[in-house]
Amino acid sequence: MTDLAKTHALMARGRDFLGTEHAIMCGAMSWVSERSLVSAISNGGGFGVIACGAMTPDLLDAEITATRALTDKPFGVNLITMHPDLTDLIAICGRHDVSHVVLAGGIPPKGSVEAIKVFGAKVIVFAPTLALAKKLLRSGADALVIEGSEAGGHIGPVSTSVLAQEFLPALAGDHVVFVAGGIGRGEAIAGYLEMGASGVQLGTRFACASESIAHADFKRAFFRANARDAVASVQLDARLPVIPVRALKNKGTEEFTVKQREVGVLLDQGKVDMGEAQLQIERYWAGALRKAVIDGDIENGSLMAGQSVGMLKEEEPAADIIAKLMAESEDALLRR
Ligand SMILES: Cc1cc2nc3c(=O)[nH]c(=O)nc-3n(C[C@H](O)[C@H](O)[C@H](O)COP(=O)(O)O)c2cc1C
């Protein structure tokens, strides 16, 4: 027996699915989840995922090549379903024989799951409702991430604890389900594994790992923050259903309100249609996140963070974070 025997036993299906030592995924974070963090996570026994975000196919091509040079362990690629070049991005993944593709940001467009499966990759999807989860799993998705509103970045309206109670009893018997949102310590991982999850996905906890290229000021803002500082954006215009984003409060979160008003006026004037309006909102977030992560503009940029941010106190290597989470989970299970 290893000293992680209980956690590993509960993670068996997830470890097998990911091909990793531990069934801990680092969810893709735009601008943050690039070669350095992704390879560090995978080399640390977890599962790193490249955030394609708004990258062009050429940039994704280069990022996969560079990540492969840094790790021989499995990692995935996260594609945003509304990306205008989704088909080309899938083709790039195929050319590199990527083993796992995560489709995020909405319901996968027709044919996308099939296009990924053609080259033998496993497809991981998100689903906001149980009915949709069942439909996606029926139509070829191999695994599901359920992500609660405690998470950083784009969020749904329901908390992780409620999603876990609703989805896991219904799906975990036959399917690989990962739980995400608000996980900061291993005790929570143990709980979700006992409920039937095959593994977990964390973002915020890894955003400030030593290997993360996020700007030092971005990381300092995370270490200073409390759970209550990570707030969800508010929808201003009933016609413009923007997906809420959880981020640390700053001038940037206020500017988002202004941006929504501007786009609302353009809609009123008929200068943009609904699709273009939503794209403008998403481009705003991508730009604002870059400003904070890369340039270190923590006032005007977007500090996307989940509520677990309050548990982050210092920079640690990704492998140490993973080892700590696993040890906490194991201790919790041993105490049962
Ligand atoms: C800074 C940041 C950027 C993110 N960007 C993306 C993204 O580009 N695509 C995506 O699917 N999820 C994104 N997420 C969500 C994460 O992949 C992950 O699911 C989430 O952080 C898990 O919840 P946690 O933050 O409570 O650990 C982002 C999260 C953060 C904190």
- Cα(181) to centroid of ligand 1, in Å? 9
**pLDDT exceeds cutoff 80 at 1:** no
Helix axes of 35-43 and 318-335: crossing angle, nearest 10 degrees: 40
Q: Of 204, 231, 248, 307, which is best to mutate to test ligand 1, by the most ligand atoms within 8 angstroms of its C-beta?
A: 204
> Tens digit of pLDDT for each residue in 57-98?
999 999 999 999 999 999 999 999 989 999 999 999 999 999
How far, in Å, CA of 159 to CA of 136, rounded?
21
CA distances from 90 to 25, 63, 254, 287, 290 (A): 21, 14, 35, 23, 24
Q: How far is the CA of 3 from the centre of ligand 1 (A)?
A: 30
CA distance readout (Å), 199 to 24, 141, 144, 171, 311: 6, 17, 10, 14, 21
127-166 residue pLDDT tens: 999 999 999 999 999 999 999 999 999 999 999 999 999 9
CA–centroid distance, 28 to ligand 1, in Å, is: 6
Expressed in angstroms and rounded, the spacing between residue 258 Cα and the centre of ligand 1 is: 24
Task: Give the pLDDT of residue 2.
Answer: 65
**d(CA 234, ligand 1 centre) in Å:** 18
Query: Measured between alpha carbons, how far is 251 from 298 in angstroms, rounded to an integer?
Result: 9
Q: Is the pLDDT at 38 greater than 80, yes or no?
A: yes
Which pLDDT belongs to residue 209? 98
The more confident residue out of 319 and 285 is: 319
Quote the pTM value. Answer: 0.96
pLDDT digits (tens, 9 = 90+) for 195-246: 999 999 999 999 999 999 999 999 999 999 999 999 999 888 887 877 899 9
| pLDDT above 70 (res 13) | yes
Tell me the domains of the chain and their CATH numbers: 5-213+311-335 (3.20.20.70), 216-307 (no CATH)
Task: Report which secondary-structure segment, H or E, holds 47.
Answer: strand 47-51
Which residue's CA is the closest to the ligand 1 atom numbered 6? 29
How large is the average pLDDT for residues 25-52?
98
162-206: per-residue pLDDT in tens? 999 999 999 999 999 999 999 999 999 999 999 999 999 999 999
- Ligand 1, atom nearest to 304 Cα: 1
What is the residue whose two structure tokens read 């219904």?
Answer: 170
CA distances from 157 to 126, 163, 317 (A): 14, 10, 32
User: In this prediction, what percent of the chain has a pLDDT beyond 90?
Assistant: 88
**Ligand 1 binding pocket, CB closer than 6 Å:** 27-30, 32, 51, 53, 78, 104, 147, 150-153, 180-183, 201-205, 207, 304-306, 308
Nearest CA to ligand 1 atom 20: 203
**Atom number of ligand 1 nearest to Cα 145:** 19
